[in-house]
Amino acid sequence: MTDSAIPFILPGPPPQRDTAAGWQSWRTSRDIFKPAPRLDRAAWRALSARRRTLHDLHRAATHANLPLLDTPMSRAVAKLLNGRIESNALKHKPTTRAGVMITGGGYQGKTESTCEVAAAFEDRWLALHHNLNPDALLGTRDLHAPVAYVQTPVTAKPKSTCKAILSFYGAETTNMDLPDLVRQVAASLHDHGTKALLLDDITRLRMHRADDQDTLDLIRAFMSMNVTLVLVGVDIPASGLLREGRHDPRTGQVVMPPSRHANIHGLEATQTERRFDLVELDRFRYDTDDQIAAWIDHLAGVENELRLMNAPEGMLTAGTMPEYLYQRTDGVVGLLERLMEDGCRDAIETGKERLTEQLLENITIDLAGAPGRDPGAGEVPPVPPRHDTSRRRRNTVFDDRGPAATKDVG
């Protein structure tokens, strides 16, 4: 190991994606982290004391930055979201673009999956246009931002939501009333060539509050600005956001009524319904053989990313470990990631260099005070207990049921 690994171990504070500069920093650096090399104990002991320390620190960084692995659920979300953003970006007709709502529980990877799809689209879009805004006026040099990522304010109002969007671009908002703010949002989206507007934590809106109803109404009006509106939130169907919508059986989309703000602020000349594709990024399930096999396949992928020097093959997938890990995490990928990170740190510090049920029983998953999350909006999921035998079941996915299981015996 060389000292050049140190920048990857200590990369500095993570970029804040809710500004244009922060989003670009994250997008262009999201794949640069290199995990620690795989060393056995003999190779590790052959290092100098300093390099052993650096290697262990690099391993800790590796476990703290586990990659976002594809799951059957995330692949379905990515397919729909990528198709919708790309198709809308290629439209030339002045019609309202259909949006996407991504729902699911807390810590299930909704934000990361959404941002990864949007970043990959931006990579392709910028390459297609040689990093230039194809819609820019001749002689102008506005920042080209094909994707804008915004977190919904905890106490969202129409003005604060507009200001959050404008803050992404660094636009001026001082002494502006709501009509001016809305016009500035429309101008910023157009001038910066934004094709997708991501509004995260949308279920912070409480539909029993008049301000929040006005905010959602205004957000729907943004769809007339020729962008793909992507709303991400916890359990959107139960949040009240869809109470004015209806399901269109022909398209499978949720159809929302036109926005009152469209007439008030002149965003469009006609009353147009807003259509959303609603897709769920669900947790893993453990009820059928196919679901169990998908969970085990995911655990195999996670195991491949770990850097423990005494880890046997099948450390996470053999015996009762899959059932145990499911019981500890309820199939939520974010909870599994936290358990792996803390468990690997303990395995390294104790010298055991492997994960066992006994070791993991000493690990508490504590999400209290999680930064940037609103527990009242369901962004922090309940953590299953460490030992709950009532949920345990024997793994039957690889059982040989024999011919009697599939044929009638007469």
Do 181 and 318 belong to one domain? Answer: no
Quickly count: other Cβ atoms within 10 Å of residue 326's Cβ: 26
Do 201 and 229 belong to one domain? Answer: yes
Do 260 and 333 belong to one domain? Answer: no
Angle between helices 49-64 and 333-349 (to 10 degrees): 160
pTM metric for this prediction: 0.85
Do 230 and 329 belong to one domain? Answer: no
What digits encode the pLDDT tens for the residues 232-245?
Answer: 999 998 888 887 77
Do 219 and 314 belong to one domain? Answer: no
Burial 206-242 (b: 16+ CB within 10 A, else e): eeeeeebbbbbbbbbbbbbbbbbbbbbbbebeebbbb
Average pLDDT, the chain: 85
Q: Please report whether residue 55 resides in a domain.
A: no
CATH number (domain holding residue 228)? 3.40.50.300
Q: Please report whether residue 49 resides in a domain.
A: no
Do 351 and 250 belong to one domain? Answer: no
Position 166 scores a pLDDT of 95
Strands 147-151 and 196-200, bridge-based pairing: parallel
Position 42 scores a pLDDT of 95
pLDDT < 70 positions in the chain: 1-12, 132-142, 207-208, 259-272, 369-372, 374, 376-377, 387-410
d(CA 101, CA 116): 16
Q: Where a domain ends, among 232, 265, 280?
A: 280
Range of the domain at 357: 286-397
Q: Please report whether residue 409 resides in a domain.
A: no
Position 94 scores a pLDDT of 76
Do 252 and 136 belong to one domain? Answer: yes
Quickly count: other Cβ atoms within 10 Å of residue 26's Cβ: 16
Q: Please report whether residue 171 resides in a domain.
A: yes
Do 102 and 195 belong to one domain? Answer: yes
Q: Where a domain ends, among 222, 245, 280?
A: 280
Do 85 and 219 belong to one domain? Answer: yes
Q: Where a domain ends, among 280, 302, 319?
A: 280
What digits encode the pLDDT tens for the residues 177-188?
Answer: 988 998 899 899
Do 114 and 146 belong to one domain? Answer: yes
Do 247 and 306 belong to one domain? Answer: no
Position 269 scores a pLDDT of 45
Domain count across the chain = 2
Do 274 and 373 belong to one domain? Answer: no
Asked if residues 158 and 218 have their Cβ atoms less than 8 Å apart, the reply is: yes
Position 43 scores a pLDDT of 96
Q: Please report whether residue 388 resides in a domain.
A: yes
DSSP 8-state assignment for residue 247? E
